[in-house]
């Protein structure tokens, strides 16, 4: 395996991974995970992929992400909101994605819920980011990283109230971690805190 000498969060360097998968995982960790993501399309993609990941390894989703983008029209909310039963069948036949009817139908329902929002999806999601996130100490190791938080519980509850599916408190917290609403890189991880200018 390639060792570049950098210390990363403990969930990354897994000796059981093939080198190509390890490099894919490292690149995601080093350049995306925990970096602030804004914009409704980008966040809708992340919500959708987090829902598809439920019960699976995130690596499965990373390997298929380009296929998901192709299959779901770049996660264009308006287009997905207009999907019909024919699109569901098309997606169920697409071996490039996770073919789970409940998750596919939830993605379409979530697009329709997003279209009906009276606020931008990005603004709604970021309204649940902890106010002290930039000042909170990083966890010493992965054992200190929470699976849920009061904010993720509140986010999931509000999204459910607004018609979203497949987004419970754990999925909401994973979304918050992945999109920089919280910084759960471990204290010894080489990835620097995001600049306040980017969050």
Q: Read off the pLDDT of residues 117-156 as tens digits, 9 standing for 90 and up.
A: 999 999 999 999 998 877 788 999 888 898 999 999 999 9
Q: What is the pLDDT of residue 12?
A: 83
What count of other Cβ atoms lies within 10 Å of the Cβ of residue 52? 22
Q: What is the pTM of this model?
A: 0.92
Gyration radius of the chain over CA positions: 17
- Are 99 and 92 in contact by the 8 Å Cβ rule? The answer is yes
Could you say which of 25, 33, 45, 50 is catalytic?
50
pLDDT at 48 over 80: yes
Catalytic-residue membership of 58:
yes
Q: What is the pLDDT of residue 60?
A: 95
**What confidence tier does 15 reach under pLDDT thresholds 50, 70, 90?**
low
Catalytic-residue membership of 25:
no
Could you say which of 58, 105, 120, 158 is catalytic?
58
Q: Read off the pLDDT of residues 53-79 as tens digits, 9 standing for 90 and up.
A: 999 999 999 999 999 999 999 999 999
Catalytic-residue membership of 50:
yes
- The DSSP annotation for 139-186 comes to PSSGGG--S--HHHHHHHHHHHHTT--S--HHHHHHHHHHTTSS----
Could you say which of 11, 28, 32, 158 is catalytic?
28
Q: What is the pLDDT of residue 196?
A: 54
Q: What is the pLDDT of residue 174?
A: 96
What count of other Cβ atoms lies within 10 Å of the Cβ of residue 188? 12
């Amino acid at each position: 395996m390639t060792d570049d000498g950098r210390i990363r969060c403990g969930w990354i360097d897994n000796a059981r991974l093939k080198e190509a998968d390890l490099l894919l995982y490292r690149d995601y960790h080093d350049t995306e995970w925990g970096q602030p993501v804004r914009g409704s399309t980008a966040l809708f993609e992340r919500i959708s992929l987090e829902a598809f990941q439920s019960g699976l390894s995130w690596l499965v989703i990373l390997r298929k992400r380009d296929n998901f983008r192709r299959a779901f029209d770049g996660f264009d909310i308006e287009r997905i909101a207009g999907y019909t039963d024919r699109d569901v069948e098309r997606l169920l036949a697409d071996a490039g994605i996770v073919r789970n009817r409940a998750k596919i139908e939830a993605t379409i329902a979530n697009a329709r819920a997003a279209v009906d929002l009276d606020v931008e999806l990005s603004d709604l999601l970021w309204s649940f980011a902890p106010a002290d996130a930039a000042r909170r100490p990083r966890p010493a190791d992965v054992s200190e990283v929470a699976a849920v938080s009061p904010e993720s519980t509140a986010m999931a509850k509000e999204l459910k109230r607004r018609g979203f599916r497949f987004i419970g408190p754990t999925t909401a917290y994973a979304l918050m971690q992945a999109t920089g609403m919280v910084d759960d890189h471990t204290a010894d991880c080489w990835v620097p805190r995001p600049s306040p200018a980017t969050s």
